[in-house]
Structure 1
Amino acid sequence: MGLMLAFAVPAVVHPATARADNPIVQTIYTADPAPLVYDGRVYLYTGHDEDSSTTYTMKEWRVWSSDDMVNWTDHGSPLDLSSFSWASNNAWAGQTVYRNGKFYWYVPMTDKSTGRMAIGVAVSDSPTGPFHDALGHPLVENGQIDPTVFIDDDGQAYLYWGNPDLWYVKLNADMTSYSGSPSKIQLTTAGFGTRTGDANRPTLFEEGPWVYKRNGLYYIVFAAKCCSEFIAYSTAPGPTGPWTYRGTVMPTQGGSFTNHPGITDFKGNSYFFYHNGALPGGSGYTRSVAVEKFSYNSDGTIPTINMTSTGAPQVGTLNPYTRQEAETIAWESGVETEPSSEGGMDVGFIENGDYIKVKGVAFGSGASSFTARVASTVGGGTVELHLGSASGTTVGRCSVPNTGDWQTWTSVSCPVSGATGTQDLYLKFTGGSGYLLNMNWWQFTAASTATAHAR
């Protein structure tokens, strides 16, 4: 099982302990979060630190989404190094933006012909892909990293990137070409703070810029100083400056010597995404994405934000009476995800005692039954439905048959009793030894609906 086995032990030893909701992804290590709000959901684009990495071993990018900030759906990897014929390695921090009906994902990687870091751009008609290389060659290449894109109110788009410098270029409306030449933003101590002890880097700017505009003010949030990094920010009256250093957003903390900001507004709230080393085995090379809700000060300044294990509060509830992907998860123990033969992802590598937590499930007046799409090469696995915790009240049990293959799917149903109100739902998997089953999706039937049909 690898990464997530470490969670099974405390869950068994302390079954009543409430599980944390940060980091927001526990099935793999994630880094460098870049949120995008589109059509009522937050899409989160991340890097993927490979298990047991002792350097930045990153081969692909991943996508997640949520409509409530706590239950995150895994959309897999619609973009990786093999998507770019000119790239060799280092799938590092990128960002996706939406324009004119398309999604543009700007990502840095090593150009195999030069050995230097370059920035490519991939395009898709969907926020979850598939993405493909828009150009067949780098968009820009000067050996520096961490692209971020900002589209101003007048429609002019800017690409910023850099470490150790801070560069920008004006993108054309097609988002895959630019006008003029890349320019350096002058890094002054007034604009980016004072670094001590490094004559070659007089300012705090290190890497990971994130640029946006709010109430007429331009913000650049960035990873500051190295190492360990903290998150700082500056503001300006225009998209290229002059910048004024404003101070710390997130102090150094969290078990990773790097950090990377991503800020967005969603459903009337402001959110700060970052990464740390909080998962078992976590480090500066095996990082995990987390999120905090925050409020700007009245003068537009950003308050100091600290890392927590509780994360952002839920916005709204989850509807159990519509199909929910099994890979929509607030917290999990033991499971992993994989591509499904029916499309999207499924939850697999499930063993006895593993579970999935789904937060804030609105059962209302009650559910009468539960249906799950499952596959297995063994018999005897059971999906137990618990409320409140993995050992909480059991409201249903569904047996899973041998379907003949891990990707041969069938739907199983079972009665449900006692699932009312808004509850945290735990899908707990029990059975013998070894892998028990895969799950693609699940759905409850409301008791009132069943009664109405009976009439």
Structure 2
Amino acid sequence: MKINKEVQMRDPFVFVDREQGKYYLFGSTDKNIWGKGTGFDVWIGNDLEHWEGPYPVFRPDIEFFSEENFWAPEVHEYKGSYYMFATFLLKDSGKRGTAVLKSDSLTGPFHPHSDGIITPDDWFSLDGTLHIDEDGKPWMVFCHEWVQVGDGQICAVRLSDDLKEAVEEPVTLFAASEAPWPTSFQHKTRNTRENYVTDGPYIYRAEDGELLMLWASFVDNVYAQGISRSTTGKVTGPWIHDEKPLFASDGGHGMLFHDLEGRLHLTLHSPNKTPDERPIFIEMEENDGVLRRREDG
């Protein structure tokens, strides 16, 4: 396991540029992650231990629709450009949602692409991620937050081919309590019912063709990373859930990627406490859809 001690970051996301032989590391990096947002940065490395940066890739102008909660930037290549999916708290409604930014370069600058958020306007939503289905159609998978629904949900919505807007109503894939491993909690101010968190979904097509979803929640108030599996191989599921979390040592909001040598890695942030959170990289092995940490990774 590699820990980057220099970079304070939540929600790490790695883009592997195989042509240039470089790694681009994005994430939530404001020192007060719960307050005013300054923008997004990128770190660049030739390996997973040594990083140069931060380099600014997005800074909002005065007319931007958000000033707070700049969270969870993911960058995906799509039709020759780079699209950043990121979460923002809206100035006008006080709701959170995912918007899309666009750039012709991994180092930015990224500019607003969607007209505001593309999650429902009246929802508290976060952590949208791009998925291209078996027919080449774009979807966004995201969380309907526990702060609004109590039992946090993972949802999916079809996007327009230009990624500017949703073209259908979102569908609920599952709620956190449907998985066997998360545990509930009661919040003193939000509500007093049992709450279950969903956080940071990421879609991964396994070597055997199975469609997996990484997502985070809590086990006895400790942040953890789990896996669910589509029984049809489609993003609409149905989804079944692994019995135990993949990572249960106070870390989550992870994603999977293959490094420049083809080795599989899990990256997530740990611990789940500001300002101590750091991106960590764990080498994994995959056997018949089962993911586990390499003993020497």
TM-score, normalised to structure 1, is: 0.55
Correspondent of 1:133 among 97, 103, 112: 112
Residue 243 of structure 1 corresponds to 239
Quick check: 1:302 aligned with 2:291?
A: yes
The residue aligned with 1:401 is: none
Runs of at least 5 residues in structure 2 that lack an aligned partner in the other structure: 146-151, 187-192
Give distance in 1, aligned partners of 2:5 and 2:225: 21
Unmatched runs of 5 consecutive residues or more in structure 1: 1-20, 313-455
Are 1:229 and 2:223 counterparts? yes
In the alignment, structure 1 residue 268 sits paired with structure 2 residue 256: no
Matches of 2:99 and 2:248 in 1, distance apart?
31
Measured in 1, the distance between the counterparts of 2:171 and 2:290 equals 27
**Paired residue for 1:158?**
139
- Residue 183 (structure 1) aligns with: 171
Residue of structure 2 in register with 1:193 after alignment: 180
1:287 to 272, 277, 281: 277
Q: 2-side partners of 1:167 and 1:73: how far apart?
A: 35
In structure 2, relative to structure 1, the CA distance for the partners of 1:166 and 1:42 (3 Å cut) is same
Equivalent-residue separation in structure 1 for 2:212 and 2:89 (angstroms)? 29
In 2, Cα distance between the equivalents of 1:83 and 1:172? 28
Residue 68 of structure 1: how far off its partner (Å): 2.6
Whether 1:34 aligns to 2:28 is no
Tell me by how many angstroms 1:201 deviates. Answer: 5.5
Name the CA shift for 1:228/1:84 in 2 (closer, same or farther; >3 Å). Answer: farther
| Cα distance in 1 between the residues matched to 2:240 and 2:194 | 17
Residue of structure 2 aligned with 1:211, choices 190, 203, 218? 203
SS state at 1:91 partner:
strand
Quick check: 1:224–1:230 contact (8 Å CA) kept in 2? yes
Deviation at 1:133, TM superposition (A): 0.6
Distance in 1 (alpha carbons) for counterparts of 2:37 and 2:276: 10
Distance 1:283 1:205, change over 3 A: closer
Q: Is the 8 A contact 2:114 2:163 kept in 1?
A: no
Deviations 1:11-67 (A, max 9, x none): xxxxxxxxxx943250x41111112223333322111031xx495665322212333
AA aligned to 2:249 is T
Give the whole-Å Cα distance in 2 for the aligned partners of 1:55 and 1:178.
27
Asked if the contact 1:195–1:201 (Cα under 8 Å) also holds between the matched residues in 2, the reply is no
Letter in 2 for 1:248: P
User: In the alignment, which residue of structure 1 is the partner of 2:149?
Assistant: none
Partner of 2:25: 44
Greater Cα offset, 97-106 or 140-149: 140-149
Partner SS for 1:249? coil
- 5 Å-filtered alignment, 1:375-394, equals none
Q: For residue 449 of structure 1, what is the aligned residue in structure 2?
A: none
Question: C-alpha distance in 2, partners of 1:302/1:83?
Answer: 45
Greater Rg over alpha carbons, structure:
1
8 Å Cα contact 1:83/1:132 also seen in 2: no
- Change over 3 Å in CA distance of 1:221–1:124 after alignment to 2: same
**Letter matched to residue 249 of structure 1:** L
Residue 4 (structure 2) pairs with residue 24 (structure 1): yes
Deviations along 1:294-347, whole A, 9 cap, x unmatched?
A: 111x221111589xxxx96xxxxxxxxxxxxxxxxxxxxxxxxxxxxxxxxxxx
| Fraction of identical pairs, as percent | 19
Q: Indicate if the aligned counterparts of 2:22 and 2:46 stay in contact, CA closer than 8 A.
A: yes
Determine which structure has the larger strand proportion and give its number: 2
Secondary structure of the residue aligned to 2:279 is: strand
- Report the counterpart of residue 440 of structure 1 in structure 2: none
Alpha-carbon shift at residue 181 of structure 1 (Å) = 1.2
Indicate if the aligned counterparts of 1:84 and 1:133 stay in contact, CA closer than 8 A.
no
Tell me the TM-score normalised to structure 2 length: 0.82
Select between 132-141 and 99-108 the one with higher mean Cα deviation: 132-141
The aligned length equals 274
1:437-452, aligned counterparts within 5 Å?
Answer: none
**CA distance change for structure 1 residues 211 and 128 in 2, over 3 Å: closer, same or farther?**
same
User: Is 1:60–2:39 an aligned residue pair?
Assistant: yes
1:4-15 equivalences in 2 (<5 Å): none
- Aligned-residue Cα RMSD (Å) equals 2.8
Q: For 1:111, give the aligned amino acid.
A: L
